[in-house]
Amino acid sequence: THTHTHTHTPQESRTKLHKKIAAFFVCFRQSDDFDAIRSKFATLERRQSSPSSPTSLRIDRHKSRELDSQDDIKKRLEVCEKGSMELPKYSAVINSNNFANALKATWIVADILSIVDILRTPEERFKHSDTIIKIFSRVKEMLIIPRIVLFLKEVEHPKLQYHAARVIAYYAPGPRIAHTPKDSAIHPDKMLHKIEVVRAGAVPILRDLLSSPHLEVRKQSAEALGALASYNHEARDFIQEKGVIPKLIKMINPQTPLSLLRPVTWTLSIFCGHTHDIKNFPPNTKALYPALERFNFIINKRGDTETLINTCCAMSYLLPGIHMHKSVVKRLTDLLKYPDNTLKTVLLHSFTDLVRLDNTNVRDFFDAGLLVNVQNLLKSSTAAEDYQIRLRVCDLVATLAGEKGYVQDVITAGLIPTKKNILF
């Protein structure tokens, strides 16, 4: 199911962090033995917090773009709004037989729909909901999408294929506006726009375009498939049945440029479980296990920040229950030293999930220096923007000590004094 992530203010994050640490120390003050500590803390956890959504700390996009200035955003929004008034004209051109003009019109329609990318959160889109809804309604009413899907087949016009795939990537997930009523036709759960794209026959064409001789077409096709598969398990499973997974996995090799690895790893993370309610609608992990070897290659050889984030996110859904080679354990642990807060947050969340779901590799992670790296993170993450890291560290330590019985390991690693220093 589709959920919107609430972004905590620094003060809210500080309060939550302090409550977590305070609860941890209450258990030590009130109990004399480790079993009692574990029991008390587990009870406090159940009362004070609900399990985090599998998507709550994961990025929604593979793109790590610099934040646009407000002036840039304003100008781009004005272009989108102005262009939306001329959609009937562009629709007529798209439905004509002039491919040169159709390319220009398709390009413009993709730029207009990019309003959902310019406004990056459901709350931001809510402020411009009238314009966004008008754009999506006009595109649907003018029957642009069936023609756009046909453009995907135009192998002699790769630029047209590329911009057609852009249109699908922006259009398929729908407006995604905060506070959309559940019974609204445009609520993400209704899959109004995805169903339109699927019925037009886009999925098998996009799958085949993953083998296009043109790099940009392959990149945009991978992203369009990820957009189609995100947030709805029915869409995810339907696309997987069309044989997309083996093609995506095959695209990860030493010759693949990083610019292609980014959307490919992002899309694979969607199929592994990212953006989905995996508790109620788990992915077909058996079909995805062959990706682990390629993921291991990325984390050791090829990953930049975006690709590492996508890959670690994907791996976190596949690793529970698997006995990992110690070299993989070591590399994942060492990535906590990587100078990117988003990657650290994803890794910490992944370690917490792994500990909660499976104890198979916990001791190996300890031997690889997990607790030492966590200790260093607590000491070094003192800036305001590091709240989420400290919160995730406390979550991991609380899970290890409070739920899984590794209290002595936590104490021996010296994490208790460090956590006290955060609170006091």
Tell me the three-class secondary structure of 11-72, residue by residue.
HHHHHHHHHHHHHHHHHHHHCCCHHHHHHHHHHHHHHHCCCCCCCCCCCCCCCCCCCCCHHH
Contacts of 122 (CB under 8 A, 6+ apart): 4, 176, 177, 178
* Torsion angle defined by CA atoms of residues 113, 307, 367 and 396, in that order, rounded to the nearest 10 degrees: -10
What is the crossing angle of helices 99-113 and 70-84, to 10°? 130
Q: Answer whether 0.75 is exceeded by the pTM.
A: yes
Query: Tens-digit pLDDT profile for the chain (424 aa)?
Result: 333 444 555 565 555 555 555 555 555 555 555 555 555 555 544 444 433 333 333 334 444 444 567 888 888 888 898 888 999 999 999 999 899 999 999 999 999 999 999 998 999 999 999 999 999 999 999 999 999 999 999 999 999 999 999 999 999 999 999 999 999 999 988 999 999 999 999 999 999 999 999 999 999 999 999 999 999 999 999 999 999 999 999 999 999 999 999 999 999 999 999 999 999 999 999 999 999 999 999 999 877 899 999 999 999 999 988 889 999 999 999 999 999 999 999 999 999 988 888 888 899 999 999 999 999 998 888 787 888 898 898 899 989 988 778 889 988 888 876 655 555 4
Question: How many angstroms separate the CA atoms of 161 and 155, rounded?
Answer: 7
Dist CA 127 CA 109 (whole Å): 21
Closest CA to 295 of 242, 332, 323, 348: 332
| Rounded CA separation 423/19 (Å) | 9
**DSSP state string for 114-134:** THHHHS-SHHHHHTTHHHHHH
Task: Give the three-class secondary structure for 408.
Answer: helix
CA distance 86 to 90: 7
Residue 174 near residue 212, CB atoms below 8 Å: no
Please check whether residue 155 is in contact with residue 205, taking contact to mean a CB–CB distance below 8 angstroms.
no
CB atoms inside a 10 Å sphere around CB 354: 24
